Amino acid sequence: MSSLSNQEIATLFNKVAQMLSIRGDNIHRVLAYQRAAESIGELSQSLSQLQQEGALTTIPHVGATLAEKIEEILATSKLQFYEKLAQEIPPTLVELLRVEGLGPKRVKQVYETLGITTLEQLAAAAAEGKLRDLPGMGAKSEAKLVAALENLKKHGDSRTPLGTAWPLAQQILAQLAQLPGVTQTAIGGSLRRMKETIGDIDLLVAAADPLPIMAHFRSLENVASVAAAGPTKSRIVLHNGLGVDLRVLPAERWGTLLSYFTGSKEHNVRLRELALKKGYSLNEHAFTPLDGSPEILCATEEALYAQLGLPYISPVLREDRGEIEAGLRGELPPLIQTGDIQIDLHLHTTWSDGAKSVRQMAEAAKARGLKAIVVTDHSYGLGIANGLDETRLWQQAAEVRQVDEAMGPDFRVLHGTEMEIKADGSLDFPDEVLARLDFVIASLHVSLSQPREQVTQRALNAINNPHVDMLAHPTGRLLPNRPGADLDMEAVISAAAANQTLLEINANPNRLDLRDSQARRAIESGVHLAINCDAHHPDHFDLLHYGVATAQRAWATPAHIVNTWTIDKLLAYINR
**7-16 residue pLDDT tens:** 789 889 989 9
By C-alpha distance, which of 124, 205, 138, 193 is closest to 165? Answer: 193
| Cα(47)–Cα(4) distance, integer angstroms | 10
DSSP 63-124: -HHHHHHHHHHHHHS--HHHHHHHHHS-TTHHHHTTSTT--HHHHHHHHHHH---SHHHHHH
pLDDT grade for 3, boundaries at 50, 70 and 90: low
- The stretch 63-89 carries a mean pLDDT of 93
Widest pairwise Cα distance in the chain: 80
Using DSSP, state whether 519 is helix, strand or coil: helix
Using the predicted structure, report yes or no on whether residue 473 has a pLDDT greater than 60: yes
pLDDT grade for 466, boundaries at 50, 70 and 90: very high
Using the predicted structure, report yes or no on whether residue 328 has a pLDDT greater than 60: yes
Q: How much of the chain exceeds pLDDT 70, in percent?
A: 97
Q: HSE-up of 113 (CA within 13 Å, CB side)?
A: 15
Sheet containing strand 439-443, edge to edge, reads 343-347, 372-375, 412-420, 439-443, 470-471, 502-506, 529-532
| Cα(476)–Cα(30) distance, integer angstroms | 33
| Cα(452)–Cα(446) distance, integer angstroms | 14
CA angle 1, 518, 349 (to 5 degrees): 125
pLDDT grade for 486, boundaries at 50, 70 and 90: confident
pLDDT grade for 44, boundaries at 50, 70 and 90: low
Using the predicted structure, report yes or no on whether residue 554 has a pLDDT greater than 90: yes
Encode pLDDT of 283-311 as tens digits: 999 999 999 999 999 999 999 999 999 99
What pLDDT shows up at residue 154? 58
Could you tell me which residue, 485 or 347, shows the higher pLDDT? 347
Q: Taking a C-beta distance cutoff of 8 angstroms, is the pair 126, 147 a contact?
A: no
Q: Taking a C-beta distance cutoff of 8 angstroms, is the pair 172, 165 a contact?
A: no
Q: Taking a C-beta distance cutoff of 8 angstroms, is the pair 261, 284 a contact?
A: yes
Regarding pTM above 0.95, the answer is no
Q: Kind and range of the H or E element at 419?
A: strand 412-420
Q: How much of the chain exceeds pLDDT 90, in percent?
A: 74
| Cα(123)–Cα(99) distance, integer angstroms | 11
CB atoms within 10 A of CB 521: 18
Going by their DSSP bridges, the two strands 502-506 and 470-471 should be labelled as: parallel
Q: Which of 43-47, 71-75, 440-444, 516-520 has the lowest mean pLDDT?
A: 43-47
- The stretch 107-132 carries a mean pLDDT of 90
- The stretch 127-138 carries a mean pLDDT of 87
| Cα(320)–Cα(322) distance, integer angstroms | 6
| Cα(30)–Cα(18) distance, integer angstroms | 7
User: Residue 293 corresponds to which amino acid?
Assistant: S
What's the N-to-C CA distance of the chain in angstroms?
46
Q: Taking a C-beta distance cutoff of 8 angstroms, is the pair 39, 58 a contact?
A: no
| Cα(325)–Cα(322) distance, integer angstroms | 5
Using the predicted structure, report yes or no on whether residue 268 has a pLDDT greater than 70: yes
CB atoms within 10 A of CB 361: 27
| Cα(413)–Cα(114) distance, integer angstroms | 69
What pLDDT shows up at residue 103? 84
What pLDDT shows up at residue 383? 81
| Cα(132)–Cα(144) distance, integer angstroms | 11
pLDDT grade for 514, boundaries at 50, 70 and 90: very high
DSSP 195-211: -SEESSEEEEEEES--H
Q: Which of 74-78, 173-177, 390-394 has the lowest mean pLDDT?
A: 74-78
By C-alpha distance, which of 131, 156, 159 is closest to 145? Answer: 131
Using the predicted structure, report yes or no on whether residue 151 has a pLDDT greater than 70: no
| Cα(38)–Cα(521) distance, integer angstroms | 15
Q: Kind and range of the H or E element at 417?
A: strand 412-420
| Cα(281)–Cα(293) distance, integer angstroms | 12
pLDDT grade for 157, boundaries at 50, 70 and 90: low
Encode pLDDT of 199-252 as tens digits: 899 999 999 999 999 999 999 987 878 888 988 999 998 877 788 999 998 999
Q: Taking a C-beta distance cutoff of 8 angstroms, is the pair 347, 539 a contact?
A: no
Using the predicted structure, report yes or no on whether residue 1 has a pLDDT greater than 60: no
What pLDDT shows up at residue 225? 84
Q: Taking a C-beta distance cutoff of 8 angstroms, is the pair 537, 552 a contact?
A: no
What pLDDT shows up at residue 31? 82
What pLDDT shows up at residue 433? 97
What pLDDT shows up at residue 48? 86
User: Residue 132 corresponds to which amino acid?
Assistant: R
- How far out from the chain centre does Cα 397 lie? 37
What pLDDT shows up at residue 155? 53
| Cα(316)–Cα(325) distance, integer angstroms | 16
| Cα(400)–Cα(375) distance, integer angstroms | 8
Q: Which of 281-290, 358-367, 448-457 has the lowest mean pLDDT?
A: 448-457
Q: Which domains does the chain have, with CATH numbers?
A: 6-89 (1.10.150.110), 94-155 (1.10.150.20), 160-249 (3.30.460.10), 253-329 (3.30.210.10), 338-574 (3.20.20.140)
What pLDDT shows up at residue 158? 64
What pLDDT shows up at residue 420? 96
Query: According to the 3-state scheme, what is the secondary structure of 300-347?
Result: CHHHHHHHCCCCCCCHHHCCCCCHHHHHHHCCCCCCCCHHHCCEEEEE
Secondary structure letter of residue 228 according to DSSP: E
Q: HSE-up of 516 (CA within 13 Å, CB side)?
A: 23
Cis peptide before 480 (omega within 30 of 0): yes
CA dihedral (478, 479, 482, 484) in degrees, to 10, reads 60
Q: What integer best gives the mean pLDDT of the chain?
A: 92
